[in-house]
Amino acid sequence: MLAPVGCVVSQSGTPGAETWAALKRQPPRIVLVDVPTTELVKSIDALADALRGRRIPIVALVENEDAAAIALEHGARAALRKPVRPDELLSTFRRLARRGGADPGPVEKPA
């Protein structure tokens, strides 16, 4: 759904070495997080730490309203309920991209 509109998609579970290397090589304009609710806080916190000081929004795909609230409290700029409609996802990406893309500064794996 995302590749045809110019998005580069990296399939990874929780942020691991491959994810950090990809973030460092080419900082994204937006990060999409789609993990089980049990991994949501850990994933968003790690990404928020790695992206601190950069204007790279995190969008979380969530299973319910409680998970959406948690995602937003931990730094996600948007939380979309699954199953997400393609038009809703793309409009969220466009809205966030208009508000400012990635700061090209270095991305470091959090300690």
Residue labelled with tokens 């850990």: 42
Task: Output the pLDDT for position 106.
Answer: 43
Backbone angles phi, psi at 48, to 5 degrees: -60, -40
More confident residue, 58 or 9: 58
Buried residues in 80-90 as b, exposed as e (16+ CB within 10 A): beeebeeeebe
- CA 83 vs. chain centroid, Å, equals 17
When pLDDT is cut at 50, 70 and 90, the band that residue 72 belongs to is: very high
pTM of this structure: 0.78
Q: What confidence tens digit (pLDDT) does each residue in 35-64 have? A: 899 999 998 888 887 777 778 899 999 999
